[in-house]
Amino acid sequence: MIQPPSDQLADNPDDMLDPLFSGTPVTEAIDDRRRQALASVAVLSRTELLESGLDDLVAERVKLYRLRPLVLNWKGKRLAPGEVDLMISRLQPGKVAGMAITLLVRFSGMSGLLYMRPSTHIGRAPRGFVWGQKLLLSYFRINPDPTTAQRYLDWQEAAVKEHVLSVNHDVGTFNAELPELLRSAVQARLDKLRAGEDFAVALGVPLADHPVPQAALGVSRLTRPESGRGRIEANETELPNMLAQNSVDPFRAPGWSELSRVTPAQTKEHREAEPSKSGRPPGSGWLIVDRAELLKKYLQLRQRSGRRPLQREFAQSVDMSARTLRTYLKRFGLSWPPE
């Protein structure tokens, strides 16, 4: 025995049923489907366009993007009585056992069409449940009257048929236009492709083996990302020499952290210790990349001054803040003075 869903309880039967044909307008759904079909043509590669036949390309996309209309099997409808709890009244709390008279109708096609609003106004939309590939039209009452129940279910059936007819009309119109729509789009792309090849032949320059991706041509210069500091490529064997010359920042350049053995924790610590950008000299905090380099800079300053320099003096000489210097000392396991 089929028991329809009944998580909402009310004394009015309509309050327990889902509104059918009242959601997204079917015309909007068809417009979205049309855009998807045309987008599938726009992403076809040059090889697909030239090696596949026009008819095959169109047929594949018609099969993929056509809408399956609703077909309800009214001749095979069945009636399923069942029990359901009903509220006695909206103002009076409590529930009482009632009866649900459910008309079950199998259907094929896209079930989502049962919720879409037709393009033409028909009248009051029916209510029911969509359960897989079955439509349930139910009548709820505490003490149902057979005549009233029959009249209500007859009205539901007639309303569903009328709305299905309207929705299927829109679907049929779209399905009929889809092949020609796709054929025109594919043919337009083929014409542009062949025109481009003819132009190249007229210039007397051989065609490239691989076409330039459209994404590389269709991005405005103003919207392209700027190449940042350290965004260069290098062989792994070149890395030690480049790091020694401070050519690359291993904490910022993509891909360099792994090669320079800089761990994520070190990168986080480094960035947290970096002074704010406001008022910081260019290049501040990015000159020393290893322990040996720090010691070398310190010894050079001591030889020039003839004494042990202060922390702030050394920080100024290497163009970094005292806070960043302390971070390096901690990371390299050094204390001040680093001797």
- Output the pLDDT for position 172: 95
Per the structure block, which two tokens stand in for 317? Answer: 């000489």
Tell me the DSSP string of 64-85: HH-----EE-GGG-EEEEEEEE
Per residue in 54-82, pLDDT (tens digit) is 999 999 999 999 999 999 999 999 988 87
pLDDT at 163: 93
Q: What is the DSSP letter of 12?
A: S
What pLDDT sits at residue 264?
55
pLDDT of residue 256: 40
d(CA 20, CA 330): 69
Give every residue of the chain whose pLDDT is below 50, as ranges. Answer: 1-11, 227-236, 238-239, 242-260, 274-288
CB 100 within 8 A of CB 139: yes
- Contacts with 191 (C-beta within 8 Å, 6 or more apart), sequence order: none
Residue 266: the pLDDT is 56
pLDDT at 14: 55
Q: Which residue has the tokens 């079930």?
A: 111
Angle between helical axes of 264-273 and 322-331 (0-180°, round to 10)? 160
**pTM of the complete model:** 0.56
Task: Name the token pair of 310.
Answer: 């202060």
CA distances to 189, 196, 213, 222, 223 from 219, rounded to whole Å, are 20, 20, 11, 8, 7
Token digits of residue 137: 């039209």
Q: What pLDDT score was predicted for residue 203?
A: 77
One-character DSSP codes across 206-251: PPPSSPPPHHHHSS-GGGSPPP-TT-----GGGHHHHHHTT-S-TT
Q: How far apart are CA 265 and CA 263, in angstroms?
A: 5
- At 135 the pLDDT is 93
